Structure 1
Amino acid sequence: MPNTYYSIITGTGKYVPSKAVKNEDFLNAQFYSKAGERLTKSNEKIIHKFQEITEIAERRYIEDEYVTSDMAFFASEEALKSAKLDKENLDYIIVAHNFGDVLKDNPKSDMVPSLASRVKHKLQIENPDCIAYDLPFGCPGLVQGLIQGDYYIKSGDAKSILVVGAETLSRISDPHDIDSMIYSDGAGAIILQSQESNVPVGIITHKSRTDTLNEAMLLRMDRSYNPDFKDDTLFMKMNGRKLYEYALNTVPALVKATIDRAGLDIRDIKKVLIHQANAKMDDAIIHRVFKLYDMQEDPRKIMPITIGELGNNSVATVPILLDMLLRGEIEKHQIHAGDHVLFASVGAGMNVNAIIYRFP
């Protein structure tokens, strides 16, 4: 029986900005409601409640001189080095993001040329057969990039693919919106390569879904909550309550369907690398997954969390988490050969996806 080609992760890299912003840095912020009214509750109480729910104590903001494609480039260099791969042998560069390059003092999306083309340029790749393109898919963009890469490899179209997730949320968040404390910046990169095997390994299976009938605008762009804001700049806005409900109603079922499709049980999954959106939400999602299998377990046994120190940097959360795990930078969590790991994400669109990956 001939061997099958599988998509194997051979290298990872990350860029975590050096600028740490702590919760107390928001004590002098002026927060407003959706109705444009100044919040009367003290910032101390607002911040305390915020940290209690999200577990975010600090987040990272991009340095003034950099933009998203810079962070993507830094993470990509690290991933190529990790994989010991010649950059000229890349067949595809897929960069997941949602806002392009956003300058510090000019919060407008710049996507021409594509960030993938910019990353290829910064890497100084000459090979014209290395195809570079962007993937705007909300927070699940990095996971979707891995899914697309898997299709290329399984079809025989590619042998080596660079998938990057990079985002600069600090520059598109409304400083007068409490939700601005959730967001952060960063980049993570993953090298996928083709490997022959007579047993399933690497990306085993995956599943995605998009809901737009009633959910498309749960994350959207809109003006500042402050009615006296200086201009009509558009910022990212989130219907947090509805988004939380959507995630709990869709992600657990999709995760179970993905595990079932792989012929596995939740007990076979050693780690869950889920989008670091909100610690309370992530805990609730995995609790519900366990419940679908008639189990009561502590999610933190299989779900490492980085949001407390790094915040929510959208498409960058999953690859940064993976890189930290593989480099032994997360206490009490390791990945071993033969482990089945679940990648999952939910975000703007609304989109949900998941991958079952078996480490060789």
Structure 2
Amino acid sequence: MNARKTLRQAEPVRYSRLLAVAAERGTETVTNDDVAGPIDSSDEWIRQRTGIVTRRRATADVDVLDLAEAASRKALDAAGLVGADIDAVILSTITYFHQTPSAAAVLADRLGATPAAAYDISAACAGYAYGIGQADALVRSGAARNVLVIGAEKLSDIIDPTDRSISFLLGDGAGAAVVGPSDAPGIGPTVWGSDGSKSQAIRQTHSLQELAADGTLGMPTLRQDGQTVFKWASFQMAPIAAKAMAEAGVEPDDIQVFVPHQANMRIIDQMVKQLKLPESVVVARDIADSGNTSAASIPLATERLLSEGSARPGDLALQIGFGAGLVYAAQVVVLP
């Protein structure tokens, strides 16, 4: 009887890092005055409550895959790679309206990345940080060498102009990052989780099944319980970010850049205060000009800081995403 052969496993890699981050924004600038009328509001009220001055939205002929493709091509170029160099594509979005096939598989084909593994993530505003955590694990386990992570949203497709709870906040865009092997630690442990008991705090108005049964309902749109989300994000997410720093073996004084999900300027300010970040820390405030772009907000904000020179390659950045689910994920990364 032949002895059972020992299985061969992939050779692990000790470290991973971000090789590049890139972004694609909607080309239309939508002001507060443009959205204030239908919700009986004003530019002043929106600025005071959210910190948003404008939001960027895509034109009608551009869909979420177009945004994702544009950001991905920029990220590949910045990393000195082509599609064929990518072993896995992870796309986070809530605005791709096909249950199957996945947006990631279509995107991989557009980029020339076939036969890369490809799958979508539904983690809303935490989706990009979820994807970075998974890419880190794939690279270090030896399951993939280079992983493309994208957060992409065309939220203007699912807004109700008369909704005062969330629609006026939302913008369109995509951010992409390439994760690959490294000689030194470049991505700290991911601290992530969920709280489904608050699943209705950010929700869609009705399901596709309900729409099929009653065509008068129209396309589902988003709603949120603002106070519930504000309190949760402002006071429960700072401890998650602090845990991500602790898991990475760093302290607030070591952090040079803070990139939270761009949900609301008041939430950002509250998190900075609770984390006791030094005044020298560069804080992403992309929401002022881009609005809330859900899964795209962290890479969009990161790319902006790097392109404007506010952040530099090699800086230690604390990033945290949080949103519908409710879900969250945070990690410390070395900027590319």
Q: TM-score, normalized by length of structure 2?
A: 0.89
Matched, 1:76 2:52: no
Give the counterpart of 2:251 among 237, 260, 265.
265
SS of the counterpart of 1:203? coil
Aligned match of 1:209: 193
CA contact (8 A) 1:99 1:110 kept: no
Aligned match of 1:96: 92
Aligned match of 1:34: none
Matched, 1:334 2:311: yes
Deviation at 1:359, TM superposition (A): 4.5
Deviation at 1:321, TM superposition (A): 1.4
Q: CA distance change for structure 1 residues 57 and 190 in 2, over 3 Å: closer, same or farther?
A: same
Q: CA distance change for structure 1 residues 43 and 196 in 2, over 3 Å: closer, same or farther?
A: closer
Deviation at 1:99, TM superposition (A): 2.4
SS of the counterpart of 2:14? strand
Provide the rounded CA distance (Å) in 1 between the counterparts of 2:82 and 2:170.
34
Structure 1 residues 145-184: aligned runs within 5 Å: 145-178=131-164, 179-184=166-171
Provide the rounded CA distance (Å) in 1 between the counterparts of 2:281 and 2:251.
16
SS of the counterpart of 1:233? coil
Provide the rounded CA distance (Å) in 2 between the counterparts of 1:21 and 1:357.
32
Deviation at 1:112, TM superposition (A): 2.5
CA contact (8 A) 2:154 2:171 kept: yes
CA contact (8 A) 1:158 1:194 kept: no
CA contact (8 A) 1:205 1:357 kept: no
Deviation at 1:4, TM superposition (A): 5.6
Aligned match of 1:122: 110
Question: Which residue type is aligned with residue 121 of structure 1?
Answer: D
Q: Deviations over 1:70-113 (max 9, x none)?
A: 1000110111111111211211000000121xxxxxxxx23432
Provide the rounded CA distance (Å) in 1 between the counterparts of 2:234 and 2:301.
22
Provide the rounded CA distance (Å) in 2 between the counterparts of 1:77 and 1:4.
26
Provide the rounded CA distance (Å) in 2 between the counterparts of 1:202 and 1:301.
19
Provide the rounded CA distance (Å) in 1 between the counterparts of 2:273 and 2:17.
29
Aligned match of 2:126: 140
Provide the rounded CA distance (Å) in 1 between the counterparts of 2:37 and 2:273.
36
Provide the rounded CA distance (Å) in 2 between the counterparts of 1:320 and 1:26.
22
Aligned match of 1:38: none
Deviation at 1:192, TM superposition (A): 0.5
Deviation at 1:54, TM superposition (A): 1.1
Matched, 1:245 2:221: no
Provide the rounded CA distance (Å) in 2 between the counterparts of 1:336 and 1:114.
33
Provide the rounded CA distance (Å) in 2 between the counterparts of 1:318 and 1:210.
19
Aligned match of 2:325: 349
Matched, 1:67 2:68: no
> Any stretches of 5+ residues in structure 1 without a counterpart?
32-41, 101-108, 224-229
SS of the counterpart of 1:305? coil
Q: CA distance change for structure 1 residues 336 and 83 in 2, over 3 Å: closer, same or farther?
A: closer
Cα RMSD after superposing both structures: 2.0
